[in-house]
């Protein structure tokens, strides 16, 4: 393992802002992870684990510790009773893995096509889109436990999954280095077509050919993402983002009714007894922000209100000040405090 000093982090992230890592290394094996953990521990510095950099906001001052980027590779499979178990190294590209599963006719993640980042990043915020989330297909997560200094294999029920949340980004944040994720997919299973967006995007040709297959749905999801600037496309300024910048807030149905009584009723989705989830994008638009809005080099994507973008040469401070302006206005208008989705590093 080679430890570099003062490595620029911005180019390793999709937002492209932030300073340098005081120390930086790549882990291509599990042994590298153990070595890096020991290196950081003996020097008394903290360890930040970086995947594809698609869900982080790095501070302009950088990270004054060891940044370890996970680059482990490899995919193993095992079949049993209509199920294919995939054992996937954390450094594998998530979207490549989705493409492989779809090509092998395995259902369960086709709606998660086009999400940037690594396999190791997926259990951290329980990635989800268009009616699927990884929590429903994760069998177990293998990780190095920095506290106990040993590898552990956590079954899905021990991962604390809920909406955009797991123990890895909440109670046990910065405790585990994920090195492998095992998924349980259904061989020959039908695709999930739960969202109207996806139904609409399945074009005539696909409908005429009969029941849409997994590849049709994955392609449709990528097309929708591309239209919204939520697909990483070289040269597309709207995808210089960290995806959705805010989580969709969960509020009581009563509160939602009060908001509706004051004007336009918000779109809402059931989120447990007496609770509804309200699209943050709707709240932001109602609070007076339009797609394409700018504040310095930070802006709202011209194709998706929920994505804050770096228009070029921007800083973390500029992104945060735009986020602050948006949150303040949403709170003032609706009394709802938006929660940021990307992870803040080095603040």
Ligand X SMILES: Cc1cc2nc3c(=O)[nH]c(=O)nc-3n(C[C@H](O)[C@H](O)[C@H](O)COP(=O)(O)OP(=O)(O)OC[C@H]3O[C@@H](n4cnc5c(N)ncnc54)[C@H](O)[C@@H]3O)c2cc1C
Q: What is the rounded CA–CA span in Å between residue 327 and residue 339?
A: 8
Give the nearer residue to ligand X in terms of CB position, either 52 or 191.
52
Helix (H) or strand (E) holding 132: strand 132-133
Q: What is the rounded CA–CA span in Å between residue 347 and residue 14?
A: 18
Q: Among 9, 57, 66, 90, which residue interacts with ligand X (rule: CB under 6 A)?
A: 90
How far, in Å, are 140, 280, 284 from residue 179 at the CA level? 11, 32, 37
Task: Please identify, among the stretches 54-62, 100-108, 188-196, 250-258, the one whose residues bind ligand X according to the rule CB under 6 A.
Answer: 54-62
Q: Where are the alpha helices (DSSP H) in the chain?
A: 30-43, 94-103, 196-201, 204-208, 214-228, 253-261, 280-286, 316-334
| Whether 41 is catalytic | no
Tokens 């591309």 belong to 226
Q: How far apart are the first and last CA of the chain?
A: 27
Helix (H) or strand (E) holding 152: strand 150-155
Work out how close the CB of 336 gets to ligand X at its nearest, in angstroms, rounded to a whole number. Answer: 21
The reply to whether 166 sits near ligand X by the rule CB under 6 A is no
- 82 torsion bin: left (phi>0), alpha (psi -120 to 50), beta (else): left
Residue count of the chain, please give it.
347
The reply to whether 178 sits near ligand X by the rule CB under 6 A is yes
Task: Please identify, among the stretches 119-127, 145-153, 207-215, 260-268, the one whose residues bind ligand X according to the rule CB under 6 A.
Answer: 119-127
The reply to whether 160 sits near ligand X by the rule CB under 6 A is no
The reply to whether 122 sits near ligand X by the rule CB under 6 A is yes
Q: Which of residues 315-344 bind ligand X (CB under 6 A)?
A: 343
| Whether 327 is catalytic | no
Give the nearer residue to ligand X in terms of CB position, either 276 or 308.
308
241, 244, 268, 301: which one is catalytic? 244
Give the nearer residue to ligand X in terms of CB position, either 50 or 259.
50
The reply to whether 201 sits near ligand X by the rule CB under 6 A is no
The reply to whether 65 sits near ligand X by the rule CB under 6 A is no
Give the pair of three-digit tokens for residue 288. 């007076």
| Whether 244 is catalytic | yes
Q: What is the rounded CA–CA span in Å between residue 343 and residue 27?
A: 21
The reply to whether 310 sits near ligand X by the rule CB under 6 A is no
Work out how close the CB of 241 gets to ligand X at its nearest, in angstroms, rounded to a whole number. Answer: 5
Q: What SS3 state is found at 284?
A: helix
Give the pair of three-digit tokens for residue 5. 């000093």
Task: Please identify, among the stretches 1-9, 57-65, 112-120, 264-272, the one whose residues bind ligand X according to the rule CB under 6 A.
Answer: 112-120
Residues noted as catalytic:
164, 244, 341
**Could you list the residues that contact ligand X (CB under 6 A)?**
14, 48-56, 70, 90, 115-118, 120-122, 124-125, 127-129, 168, 176-178, 230, 232, 239, 241-243, 343
């Amino acid at each position: 393992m080679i430890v570099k000093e003062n490595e620029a982090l911005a180019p390793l992230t999709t937002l492209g802002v932030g300073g340098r890592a005081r120390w930086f290394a790549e882990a291509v094996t599990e042994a590298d992870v153990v070595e890096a953990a020991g290196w950081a521990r003996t020097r008394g510095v903290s360890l930040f684990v970086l995947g594809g950099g698609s869900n982080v906001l790095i501070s302009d001052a950088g990270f004054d510790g060891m940044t370890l980027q996970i680059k482990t590779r490899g995919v193993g499979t095992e079949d049993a009773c209509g199920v294919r178990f995939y054992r996937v190294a954390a450094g594998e590209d998530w979207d490549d893995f989705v493409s492989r599963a779809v090509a092998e006719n395995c259902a369960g993640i086709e709606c998660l096509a086009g999400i940037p980042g690594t396999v190791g990043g997926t259990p951290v915020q329980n990635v989800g889109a268009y009616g699927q989330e990884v929590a429903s297909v994760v069998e177990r997560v293998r990780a190095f436990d920095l506290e106990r200094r040993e590898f552990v294999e956590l079954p899905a029920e021990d991962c604390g999954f809920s909406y955009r949340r797991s123990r890895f980004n909440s109670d046990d944040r910065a405790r585990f280095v994920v090195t492998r994720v095992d998924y349980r997919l259904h061989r020959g299973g039908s695709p999930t077509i739960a969202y109207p967006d996806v139904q609409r995007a399945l074009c005539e040709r696909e409908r005429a050919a009969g029941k849409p297959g997994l590849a049709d749905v994955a392609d449709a999801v990528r097309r929708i993402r591309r239209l919204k600037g939520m697909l990483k496309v070289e040269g597309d300024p709207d995808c210089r983002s960290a995806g959705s910048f805010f989580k969709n807030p969960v509020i009581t149905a009563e509160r939602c009714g009060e908001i509706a009584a004051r004007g336009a009723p918000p779109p809402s989705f059931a989120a447990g007894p007496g609770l509804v989830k309200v699209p943050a994008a709707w709240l932001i638009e109602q609070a007076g922000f339009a797609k394409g809005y700018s504040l310095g080099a930070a802006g709202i994507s011209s194709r998706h209100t929920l994505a804050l973008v770096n228009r070029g040469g921007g800083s973390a401070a500029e992104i945060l000040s735009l986020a602050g302006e948006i949150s303040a206005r949403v709170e003032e208008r609706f009394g709802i405090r938006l929660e940021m989705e990307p992870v803040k590093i080095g603040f």
